[in-house]
């Protein structure tokens, strides 16, 4: 009898141990980043050097997109606008704590969002908050945002991946601490080495499935693929489609194709000859065969774009056709005073693995219109600092943003990241009109007019929006098959 009691006790203890361990965070998930901003890399989401791979796991937004791409609650539980959409009231989630133990409340919301407008910080996300004039604290968990214009899509703007909530007054230290309300806590920040995150057991959506996340700096694209193959990292969201065959049929890896609004492109500085002439810019864009680029570079896994940064799934996207037209390209060059064509140097690097290939294919396509393009490699580590926005023609890449953010940030005459130095009063006016227009159809028309202007005059050639090939180790479970900013990281597990 004594032995039976002992046995039952042992079984009960074993069961309880295994039950508790099944619910605990366990396993290490390793991923990489490209150290795009070198030593400026930090954990302050609103700065240029933000390390988004870490920030998206440690800090939350007020509003996010759900897995179907629809605006949904994150730290705000619900919201409503006044009749003319100039004031928006957000109710905040209660009982949420920051990693330093302090409570999340309305003060933090006001502080986090208003500092985006601070001219001393010079945040690239400033445009997303430009319409907000004040944030009024109604009570500890309610805020009212006052806008200088009607903005029917304002909550959509708050899904911007950089608008993260941090503790009030933490602006001076947030770049190193990364303190937020997210599922992971920064344990060690080493931008040029390995940043270590630990599970936040008090996360408001439940304890994460992982014990740790390691974010490793690997600047070169090819090296990141090799790191995945050798098991140094568990996920690579930037594997070129040409390399899909390496992973297909290999039981150690899982490949997923995720359509996105991310794009690669080529920037021509509109303040630099000969690209200061809109006809030259349009000639270059007309000389490009976008479908051929999609086929050769992406293996068909992309959606052709006619120089609009707006995602294919976005309600404001202007869908049009833009086939290669060599005859018209030559005509425009002649009208611009270049009957014998032009010469240009396309600056690339391996920071984005597909850039050299895109440039090499375009080189052949442009030659048909008399445009002689040289492809010049530049160091990948300093690309964003020394090449992008510096050279007359350089490759670029952008992640998906809501239509309003994308159009404002990349093309508005006052935008910090106006990479082509594009200045067009009509374009700016269309954006302003769209923001203030409560009627959806009229608002859509204004956004689409702005995109038409881009097709006619912009300095950025956007051939396609990529479908992303995400390759993970087969050990990784519960990873949502959506773009990176919508992934629910607390659910991810590693066997």
Q: Which residues bind other proteins (CB under 8 A)?
A: 222, 225, 240, 242-243, 245-246, 292, 295-296, 299, 348-350, 353, 356-357, 359-361, 363-364, 374-379
User: Toward other proteins, which CB reaches closer, 152 or 242?
Assistant: 242
Q: Which is nearer to other proteins, 69 or 299 (CB)?
A: 299
Residue (of 197, 160, 149, 230) closest to 443 by Cα position? 149
Of residues 11 and 257, the one with the C-beta less far from other proteins: 257
Residue closer to other proteins (CB basis): 118 or 222: 222
- Rounded CA-CA distance 222/157 in Å is 34
For other proteins, the closer of residues 117 and 397 by Cβ is 397
Pairing of strands 142-147, 235-236: unpaired
* Residues whose CB is less than 8 angstroms from the CB of residue 241 and which lie 6 or more positions away in sequence, other chains included: 297, 298, 299, 301, 469
Nearer to other proteins, 190 or 222 (CB): 222
Specify the residue, 106 or 348, whose C-beta has the smaller distance to other proteins.
348
Q: In terms of CB distance, is 200 or 378 closer to other proteins?
A: 378
> Least distance from C-beta 72 to other proteins, angstroms?
38
């Amino acid at each position: 009898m004594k032995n039976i009691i002992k046995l039952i006790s042992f079984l009960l203890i074993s069961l309880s141990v295994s039950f508790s361990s099944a619910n605990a965070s366990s396993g290490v998930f390793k991923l990489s980043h490209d150290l795009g901003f070198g030593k400026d890399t930090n954990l302050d989401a609103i700065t240029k050097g933000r390390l988004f791979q870490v920030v998206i796991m440690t800090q939350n937004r007020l509003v996010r997109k759900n897995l179907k791409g629809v605006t949904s609650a994150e730290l705000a539980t619900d919201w409503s606008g006044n009749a003319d959409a100039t004031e928006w009231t957000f109710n905040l989630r209660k009982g949420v704590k920051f990693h330093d133990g302090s409570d999340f409340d309305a003060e933090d919301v006001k502080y986090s969002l208003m500092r985006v407008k601070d001219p001393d910080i010079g945040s690239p996300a400033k445009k997303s908050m430009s319409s907000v004039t004040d944030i009024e604290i109604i009570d500890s968990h309610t805020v009212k945002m006052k806008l200088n214009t009607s903005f029917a899509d304002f909550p959509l703007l708050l899904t911007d991946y950089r608008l993260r909530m941090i503790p009030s007054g933490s602006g001076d230290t947030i770049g190193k601490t990364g303190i937020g309300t997210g599922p992971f806590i920064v344990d060690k920040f080493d931008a040029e080495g390995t940043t270590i995150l630990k599970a936040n057991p008090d996360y408001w959506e439940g304890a994460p499935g992982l014990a740790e996340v390691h974010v490793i700096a690997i600047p070169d694209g090819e090296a990141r693929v090799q790191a995945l193959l050798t098991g140094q990292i568990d996920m690579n969201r930037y594997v070129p489609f040409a390399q899909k065959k390496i992973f297909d049929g290999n039981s150690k890896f899982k490949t997923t194709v995720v359509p996105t609004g991310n794009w690669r492109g080529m920037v021509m500085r509109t303040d630099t000859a000969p690209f200061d002439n809109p006809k030259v810019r349009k000639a270059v864009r007309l000389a490009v065969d976008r479908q051929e680029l999609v086929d050769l570079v992406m293996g068909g896994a992309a959606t052709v774009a006619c120089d609009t940064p707006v995602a294919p799934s976005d309600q404001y996207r202007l869908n049009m056709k833009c086939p290669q037209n060599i005859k018209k390209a030559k005509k425009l060059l002649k009208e611009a005073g270049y009957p014998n064509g032009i010469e240009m140097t396309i600056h690339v690097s391996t920071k984005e693995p597909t850039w050299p290939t895109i440039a090499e294919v375009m080189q052949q396509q442009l030659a048909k219109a008399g445009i002689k393009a040289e492809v010049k490699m530049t160091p990948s580590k300093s690309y964003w600092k020394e090449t992008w926005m510096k050279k007359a023609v350089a490759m670029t890449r952008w992640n998906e943003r809501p239509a309003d953010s994308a159009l404002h940030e990349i093309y508005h005459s006052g935008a910090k990241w106006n990479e082509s130095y594009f200045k067009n009063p009509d374009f700016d006016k269309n954006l302003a009109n769209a923001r203030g227009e409560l009627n959806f159809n009229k608002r859509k028309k204004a956004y689409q007019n702005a995109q038409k202007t881009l097709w006619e005059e912009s300095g950025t050639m956007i051939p396609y929006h990529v479908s992303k090939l995400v390759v993970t180790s087969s050990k990784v479970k519960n990873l949502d098959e959506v773009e990176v900013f919508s992934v629910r990281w607390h659910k991810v597990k590693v066997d």
